[in-house]
Amino acid sequence: MNVLNITVSHKLYQKNPEETDLGKRILSKSIELMEQMGYEQLTFKKIATAIESTEASVYRYFQNKHQLLAYLINWYWGWLEVKLAQEFIILNSPENKLKRAVQLLVAPMDQDARIPHINEGTLQRIVVAEYPKIYLTKEVDVENKEGYFHGYNRICDILTMIALQINPEYKFPHSLFSTIISAAQSQQFFVEHLPRLSDAKAGCEDIIDFLTELTLKTISNDE
Amino acid sequence: MNVLNITVSHKLYQKNPEETDLGKRILSKSIELMEQMGYEQLTFKKIATAIESTEASVYRYFQNKHQLLAYLINWYWGWLEVKLAQEFIILNSPENKLKRAVQLLVAPMDQDARIPHINEGTLQRIVVAEYPKIYLTKEVDVENKEGYFHGYNRICDILTMIALQINPEYKFPHSLFSTIISAAQSQQFFVEHLPRLSDAKAGCEDIIDFLTELTLKTISNDE
DNA sequence: TGCTAATGATAGTAATACTATTATATTCGC
DNA sequence: GCGAATATAATAGTATTACTATCATTAGCA
């Protein structure tokens, strides 16, 4: 069983949490608490208390809650990129790759035993519930330069390249995949909380069908 | 010139701001300040100071900043619904109606002289920059019951009905339009702040083309 | 004139988001 | 095994935020 390391830009932490035991406990408990109580209610004080450490110690790893969220979300996109690469080894047609990408975006993630301090399934639910909060701020331009959105950009680029294999003429692949990825998150949220905004039943099948059809029809060049 | 009133559910305010002069000044200045400094940085104290009133007075109209944002955003959707209805009077084909709806979502809004205390163009930019914040909270289920998302649901339902005239077999119209509407917002944001997530150039034409094509191709039943 | 409703003025509180300082424990080179 | 460096804990403190409460003033109107 080989060790796997998802690398996150050093702009996204003060001190690398993957390098110490305390750092890993911060990550692990942050994920658990953020999913339970949501980003707004979470505080560094609560994380510190839960891992029996202190607020000041948590601040040594992350400048603030926003950076912590950005770290976790970038970790998620890095992880998704690894998963995509693994899956694409045995997939040959670009259509099948896009289909599989949609499935990975929407289907619940299994926990990877090699990385016990990150619960990928919980992290995925955090991404669904909190993702836009990392870019919908007045600091977006500065943070963009610091790589806060790098993971998302990369996924979007990868899917764009695949789509262009199907139809090199398609004019809006980046727009399409930023839309698809964000719809993958929001449709999951809507099914659970705002069902009038979705036609999907509980479970991920309908969302996958919706997004797959949307993607393939849009990039097709017939008609 | 007849007077026009956008009605917002009374769950979205403590005391109706449209009924008093102070209320209108709160709305007007909130819109201006929120666009300038963003939702996070805005406080009731700042609004109060800017209109030369007091924090307590602002609290008499809105329970908190979140309710104020929900009010403004619902006002926007109510306004958009009025605009759609006006435009549809002279449009006959469902295709043209959908095209026009996309344009209204993306093109900058003009100020309506009949409603001097609401700057619709500024409000539209607030919606682009802040919209998901009203539902991405732990209170979403309670607030959904109170009608916090009513305006959005209605727009989505209207576009769904039109799409079903084009293709009554299409299975995911609500999902499609919640996706299109939210993409209309996020693509505007991406063009300005995260250009790697979009192929559109500045200005709204590319976004309109992208969304229109996406919509019409997806609901078409050929192939 | 007096009643009511709206607003203003002022104060106060608990929680949050940090920053700073000092003490203690652990690790690492030597 | 020693000293130096580093990580963490313990504690305190500050400015701001997000409210709540109270009381005074003003304007309208019956």
pLDDT tens per residue, range A91-146: 999 999 999 999 999 999 999 999 999 999 999 999 999 999 999 999 999 999 99
- Residue B145, chain A, CB below 8 Å: the answer is no
Q: Which nucleotides of C are covered by protein (CB under 7 A)?
A: 6-11, 16-21
Name the helix (H) or strand (E) containing B154: helix B150-166
Residue B74, both tokens: 């619902």
Rounded alpha-carbon distances, angstroms, from residue A97 to A104, A157, A164, B23, B71: 10, 14, 12, 54, 43
pLDDT tens per residue, range A39-71: 999 999 999 999 999 999 999 999 999 999 999
Residue A38 lies in a domain: no
* Distance from residue A156's CA to nucleotide C8's C1', rounded to whole Å: 54
* Residue B63: CB less than 7 A from any atom in strand D: yes
Residue A153 lies in a domain: yes
Residue A122 C-alpha, separation from nearest chain B C-alpha, in angstroms: 16
Q: What single DSSP character describes residue B39?
A: H
Residue A59 lies in a domain: no
* Distance from residue A20's CA to nucleotide C26's C1', rounded to whole Å: 13
Distance of CA B25 to the CA centre of its chain: 20
Residue A165 lies in a domain: yes
Q: What is the pLDDT of residue A7?
A: 87
Residue A60 lies in a domain: no
* Residue A139: CB less than 7 A from any atom in strand C: no
Residue A34 lies in a domain: no
Q: Which domain holds residue B110?
A: 72-219
Residue A2 lies in a domain: no
Tens digit of pLDDT at every position of chain B (223 positions): 355 778 899 999 999 999 999 999 999 999 999 999 999 999 999 999 999 999 999 999 999 999 999 999 999 999 999 999 999 999 999 999 999 999 999 999 999 999 999 999 999 999 999 999 999 999 999 999 999 999 999 999 999 999 999 999 999 999 999 999 999 999 999 999 999 999 999 899 999 999 999 999 999 987 5
3-state secondary structure string, B80-111? HHHHHHHHHCCCCCHHHHHHHHHHHHHCCCCC
Q: Which of B187, B189, B194, B193 is nearest to B213 (CA)?
A: B187
Residue B56 lies in a domain: no
Q: For residue A48, how many other CB atoms are within 10 A of its CB?
A: 18
Put simply, the chain B residues between 184 and 223 with a CB less than 8 A from any chain A CB are: 186-187, 189-190, 193-194, 196-200, 206-207, 209-210, 213-214, 217-218, 220, 222-223
Positive or negative: CA dihedral A50, A54, A57, A62:
positive
* Residue A53: CB less than 7 A from any atom in strand D: yes
Number of domains in chain A: 1
Do residues A211 and A184 lie in contact, with contact meaning Cβ atoms separated by under 8 Å? yes
Q: What is the pLDDT of residue A3?
A: 59
3-state secondary structure string, chain A? CCCCCCCCCHHHCCCCHHHCHHHHHHHHHHHHHHHHHHHHHCCHHHHHHHCCCCHHHHHHHCCCHHHHHHHHHHHHHHHHHHHHHHHHCCCCCHHHHHHHHHHHHHCCCCCCCCCCCCCHHHHHHHHHHHHHHHCCCCCHHHHHHCCCCHHHHHHHHHHHHHHHHHCCCCCCHHHHHHHHHHHHHHHHHHHHHCHHHCCCCCCCHHHHHHHHHHHHHHHCCCC
- Residue A175, chain B, CB below 8 Å: the answer is yes
Residues of chain A with Cβ-Cβ distance to B178 below 8 Å are 186-187, 190, 197-198
Higher-pLDDT residue of B45, A221: B45
